Chains A and B, each alone.
Chain A
């Protein structure tokens, strides 16, 4: 396989997902025989035959939140973001895990697939309908969506935890070293962030879940890592490249570096700040700029990190602090980090606001701030990323079960996976984890959130459940 061919194939795989999505969306508006649909099919078939190039079958598979073709993951790109999301949602709705295109697949087969697809959308047993109808085609097939093995998840959780604590430990080390004037190894920081980027690409929920646990003594270090994770996750939702995600994660990790100039007892103070203490706290963005520029001198990353350190408490409308006199609009990274920072700070108990907010309440507050204090467009991405009920939200289900949101759903933002901690009989339990996107045979959701509660109010230790 030569180079052009290799790169072309990857692009071709993205095109296949995109074009399939176009066909299905068009078929939801028009009759499958309509020229708009047939034209879309005509464009799709050459993509398949180009990709096949002598192979007998092409298998498009949905695993977790990602599409694979012949075991190679198709990378997300901003250009195709909506098409990917649409297809993931529609596949999940119908429990389709695989679509197989055999050699000789033609327009007739795609039409058959479309009819099956549309019919299954109205059925309570969508996969069965889909599978039954597609059986008439000799050149196409489907397979049921596989659930991710629980055992695998346990291992992944371990790896994610290790990455998370490595990052916190590194941040702690860096801050200590800078304070004492020692040299800091930025290569390590990059490696740590790269590892977080990898895990966010593979297991977004697990790493984002780690940020929901706030019961640590060393808030500042955990907060820095949390903001880095949430920023990368948001960047990932926006289709940013791995390299940019790393840079974003790195600058987010250092956003609060200026706090090294703030006395530790003040940072960890359990009561409200006095006016003088606030003055001191409000200096940390400028201190951050100084620390970064002194640490590394000037290069692209240190400049971006300085900008974020300076701007992360400035609002979208340039209110906030430090008070600026003549200043351009906020940097793109700063707007991302600012969202992550506000969310993590609001849901934590040891900074600024002494009373932490429940995750869903924090989102409500942020929603009010969108357009004035927060970038409305990025907030839209943020809420799509974190879900309506973010991880760590205490929820009462319509089944009279009490649970903690355990994982959010990338497609169904209001239907997360929930860890049941009190069952419908009022008994304390630890599990199971239930998926709120699951429906019964009649197509009704098995469980829905009816109320949310503040886990802090009831001193619920999230670490006990989520760690």
Chain B
């Protein structure tokens, strides 16, 4: 290959590097455009290496040379490849014939990094160095590592160190004394064994574990050794940093251990009240929006979480965590994540129920529904006051949940509201209200339901809703309900026969559920009914009563 041809190819390779810089930034590694860029670059290098053993580029501030020919020039500061290499001390880059595709890709990925925008702790030379390329070599100018005023440091220090010339008399004395010294007792060098290497391998494995736990241990030791408030303030600030760092890496376990240890310290009688007060700000930090935000990221990341650890972690959250937890509850993407957030709110909500109840004002229906669920789980009857306020919520799913909660939590004070819900325009709400009454389980509740079923309007409701109601009243297995059902079963009417058969079928179904065999004669009468629905339900109830099926 002639020189002009070589220069042309070198120029071409360089242009390709510039082009690939943009592509690599834009596309993920598995994207066909990305892969093609790498292949093209590699092909260009390979074609060059058909004729030459290596491609050596000399780098100046604004230009790059191949042989003595300038093949790149850019006087601007932006997007200047020469300057990009030059500023970190890179002065020559050589690509060897044996260069692997992977090596080239790694190299191009380094070149594509945006050092201005990304928080990269290394310069380009360090990144190249860490890759330890076998076929990409470079020459670096290290002088810029040293500040201008330090340039003579070596010379001055060396001269000074050499100044104190060894006195010949001292030297001769050493020589003479040497003959009188005791013979050397050799330190035995025990050769390294396979066992030593195995132990070392284990040590290295152990060493690869996270180090934040150790950092926490150090900070706690600093607390033990504190000499004043400022030491404690320093330690507290480092603890916050360590928590922030651990949470960024999803290390809930380490944070939990730290919080446990903090609690021990706070409980230490030797600790002054002032110090305790200061240390107690840390659990508040744990519940801050920042940390709860990190927790939300962990939950949504799909990272494996030990349920027990999470539960303990949640126990360390203070009530200030409630508001951020509610906020993130509405933003979490996965069911699993929401489940954990609900668990955390169930724990923290107990510490301040009214604060949790504020979440009922959230604009997102699913958040409100979850808060109702949490209030129900907490079981604090003071929540009824808040729940009653949203029983008319615009979203049916919320109304259903609140009715359920009221049923579980309330007694007399919720009856009127629930009774009104039995007439809600939505069947699902009406059924939920009926279930809530069942949850209350009182005589009054029973009476309200029986009255509702006896009402004229009830007959007109859908069969499924009616069946639900009859199923609900079967939980009262007493004579009153039994007689009520038998009466319906035996009732006669010449009008609205279809609806009547539905009611009878529901009564048969409910009698089957109550399990009282005294209902058998009444049921037997309908096992051969001309109405299929009634016949099926009566037969089914008989089977249930006779054979428990």
Contacts and interface: CB of A to CB of B under 8 A. Distances in A.
A290 B184 CA distance: 45
A194 B140 CA distance: 12
Nearest to B169: A458
B161 A467 contact: yes
A172 interface: yes
B221 A402 contact: no
Contact of A187 (B126, B130, B166, B182): B126
Contacts of B77: none
Contacts of B69: none
A303 B101 contact: no
Contacts of A461: 161-162, 164-166
Interface string B163-191: 01111101111110111011110110111
Given A186-B121, A289-B222, A458-B170, A388 B187 contact: yes
Main SS at interface, chain A: helix
Considering residues A10, A300, A384, A459, which has the most beta carbons from chain B within 10 angstroms of its beta carbon? A459
B181 A467 contact: no
A194 B100 contact: no
B118 interface: no
B30 interface: no
B145 interface: yes
Interface in A350-395: 360, 363-364, 367, 377, 380-381, 383-384, 388, 394
Contacts of A449: 184
Interface stretch (A1-9, A56-64, A259-267, A436-444): A1-9
A273 to B, nearest CB: 19
Contacts of A402: 171, 174-175, 178
Interface in A321-377: 322-328, 331-333, 360, 363-364, 367, 377
B134 A6 contact: yes
Interface in A196-241: 198, 213, 215-218, 238, 240
Contacts of B102: 3, 6-7
Contacts of B167: 459
A48 B187 CA distance: 41
Contacts of B157: 165, 168, 216, 218
Interface string A66-83: 000000100000100110
Contacts of A453: 174, 177-178, 181
B21 to A, nearest CB: 21
A394 B171 CA distance: 11
Nearest to A165: B154
Contacts of B238: 289-290, 293
A463 interface: yes
B245 interface: yes
Nearest to A307: B214
Contacts of A161: 154, 158
B163 to A, nearest CB: 9
Contact of B214 (A240, A300, A328): A328
B473 interface: no
Nearest to B177: A453
A269 interface: no
Interface stretch (A15-23, A97-105, A149-157, A420-428): A420-428
Contact of A451 (B132, B178, B234): B178
Nearest to B161: A463
B161 A422 contact: no
A396 interface: yes
A306 interface: yes
A215 B164 contact: yes
Nearest to A10: B134
Interface stretch (B7-15, B201-209, B347-355, B393-401): B201-209
A125 interface: no
A106 to B, nearest CB: 28
B142 interface: yes
Given A216-B157, A332-B203, A380-B192, A459 B170 contact: yes
Interface string A386-417: 00100000101000001000000000011000
Interface residues of B, number: 79
Interface string A172-206: 11000000000000111011101100100000000
Contacts of B245: 298-299, 303
Contacts of B184: 360, 449-452
Given A168-B153, A450-B183, A381 B166 contact: no
Considering residues B164, B174, B211, which has the most beta carbons from chain A within 10 angstroms of its beta carbon? B174
A51 interface: no
A297 interface: yes
Contacts of B222: 286, 289
Nearest to A161: B154
A396 B183 CA distance: 10
Nearest to B264: A326
Contact of B98 (A1, A293, A323, A463): A1
B358 to A, nearest CB: 34
Considering residues B145, B177, B181, which has the most beta carbons from chain A within 10 angstroms of its beta carbon? B145
Interface of A: 1-3, 6-7, 10, 72, 78, 81-82, 85, 161-163, 165-166, 168-170, 172-173, 186-188, 190-192, 194-195, 198, 213, 215-218, 238, 240, 242-243, 246, 286, 289-290, 293, 297-301, 303-304, 306-307, 310, 322-328, 331-333, 360, 363-364, 367, 377, 380-381, 383-384, 388, 394, 396, 402, 413-414, 421-422, 426, 428, 449-453, 455, 457-461, 463-464, 467
Given A377-B199, A402-B171, 13 more contacts: A1-B98, A169-B150, A187-B121, A190-B123, A217-B160, A286-B225, A301-B121, A332-B206, A364-B187, A380-B192, A396-B179, A451-B178, A453-B181
10 residue pairs, one from A and one from B, having the closest CB atoms:
A165-B154, A463-B161, A396-B178, A458-B174, A332-B207, A298-B245, A169-B153, A3-B102, A451-B181, A413-B189
11 contacts: A161-B154, A162-B154, A169-B153, A194-B129, A240-B204, A298-B245, A367-B187, A422-B172, A460-B166, A460-B171, A463-B158
